[in-house]
Structure 1
């Protein structure tokens, strides 16, 4: 097994060298700089299974977002071509790290090109749910991370579309005015999308010793903290609106909060203390419990009120049916007709 692994690593190394040489030759032929999008992507996504993209390569990639929209689009296309053509789990995982880096650190132009690729969008944006690299045990392990990481990034992009901004690029205490201006329906929609991110984090495969996976975990952990901060701002706003929520909105809120509570173990992995000093500390799970209790009281009262209203309504309809003689059934028999008249009187 060790000899087979060494051969695979050697083949991967040779393939990387050949790809970089080919891209360099094409760059010179086309009178482009040696930092063409194809070349930059290849250098950052080698076949080496234990080496994540280094900061120098990531900085080069991000620099394509500081010029024209065409240049940014070329980079995104090169990245997506590399991601969808490879059958190597290490290469795919590194491509996804770059996608994540663009989401969290890229310029607006670069993020915009990523968000509209492909034009159809959709929830299965990266289309890696069936990715398999069967070259060995480590590749099977990395393949599980490729599939999960792609799902998480899809959820992150979906949530960013709902919020109107890329999740990791915003501080929640600066968004209070925006959150306060949302309708109850839109606010619930945002909370649900954010909870979806937390739920997806909870589905992550088991973490091993691989350094590329370690980099994925670090990036996702940062998003976990940012997601909690955004949820906290919105849940606090919902607490202020409890008296204004309809019965249906109250039920929907409780359902979303229960989903959040079910992620308790994962939530505890991310500390909010350092991140929320400027915005004020508050225990998110404690806030969830408080709202659930308050909504429970309100919904019970509403439920009793609805039940009472229904009984009164049924009583009114019954009285209406009895009192109104024009709605009475006409019988030919005088005996039954007399009975009807006695009920009316």
Structure 2
């Protein structure tokens, strides 16, 4: 066996040993031993997707009917798993558990994760994460960092919008000017993080990454729809805006056009990987360029003042 193959086998054996040891310690030491064991099994070193039964066991402990102490413990345990690991598979599978919980568990879980981040360093801060055990692991690490940034922005978007973009109907059609000028930049920042999840190098063909990417891609259609609805609403109000607000709205409109182009490219990559098989991805329509010129002309002559509410400035 080659030296590289021996090293890879050794790493796998070491990962399996770490998982077994962690499970054994949980059985002896923990008041939450079943949850601890489920977390280790759902986020183990095995380089393939976790078994659904282990993910479900984690979700059972964080539902709205469970004591808040149980939910807090689970979030702490997941955060600890993320902060201690240098293994891409463990980090990625932990992020997938958190992402799916945000989608599938009730909204109180969002609040608990946000509160956890306020009292400590943010659990999703993976800026310095790297697994340098192999060239492929380096590429996987880069994708893990991008995915963590998306999830961090997803939570921030929930905090601004006060609803979940994936599980609730979009409300941008009905917002007033002040709300649009707050909500649309948050949604565009989230879409920016979606676009950052386009895999590079070895990450393109990694099955666990493709699984997480399919979650991100499916959410992107809702994000884009909310931005599109909001942009139409914004244009309807634009020619009555004060100059200060019109400048912000113009910036949002320009960004919507740029992001629509990049999202089309992102979907082409997803289709080439057979993610979503194409049918889920909506047709991306560019905002009319003719509008842009009319909007720029209006801004030059727009009355000064603002409709942006002062109580929304944080």
Q: Report 1:1-345 matches (<5 A).
A: 1-27=4-30, 30=31, 35=34, 37-49=35-47, 51-66=48-63, 67-120=66-119, 126-172=124-170, 175=171, 180=174, 182-204=175-197, 205-206=199-200, 207-268=203-264, 269=267, 285-286=285-286, 288-289=287-288, 293-294=290-291, 296-301=293-298, 303=300
Answer yes or no: is the 8 Å Cα contact 1:86–1:92 preserved in 2.
Answer: yes
Provide the C-alpha distance between the structure 2 equivalents of 1:134 and 1:301, rounded to a whole number of angstroms: 53
The TM-score, its normalising length taken from structure 1, stands at: 0.74
Q: Give the deviation of 1:15 after TM superposition.
A: 1.3
Q: Given the two structures, how large is their TM-score scaled by the length of structure 2? A: 0.81
**Structure 2: gaps (5+ residues):** 271-275, 304-314
Structure 1 residues 228 and 304: alpha-carbon distance in aligned structure 2, compared to 1, 3 A threshold = closer
The answer to which of 105-114 and 70-79 deviates more is 105-114
Taking only aligned residues, the RMSD between alpha carbons, in angstroms, comes to 2.7
| Uncovered stretches (5+) of structure 1, i.e. residues with no partner | 307-345
SS at match of 2:127: coil
Point out the structure with max Rg over C-alpha: 1
Aligned equivalents of 1:110 and 1:303: distance in 2? 46
1:250 Cα deviation after fit = 2.4
Q: After TM superposition, which residue ranges in structure 1, 4 or more long, deviate above 4 angstroms?
A: 273-276
| Length, aligned pairs only | 285
CA contact (8 A) 1:83 1:92 kept: yes
1:245–1:305: structure 2 CA closer, same or farther, 3 Å change rule? Answer: closer
SS at match of 2:285: helix
Structure 1 residues 92 and 247, CA gap change in structure 2 (3 angstroms) = same
**1:263 to partner: Cα distance:** 2.6
CA distance in 2, matches of 1:107, 1:85: 27
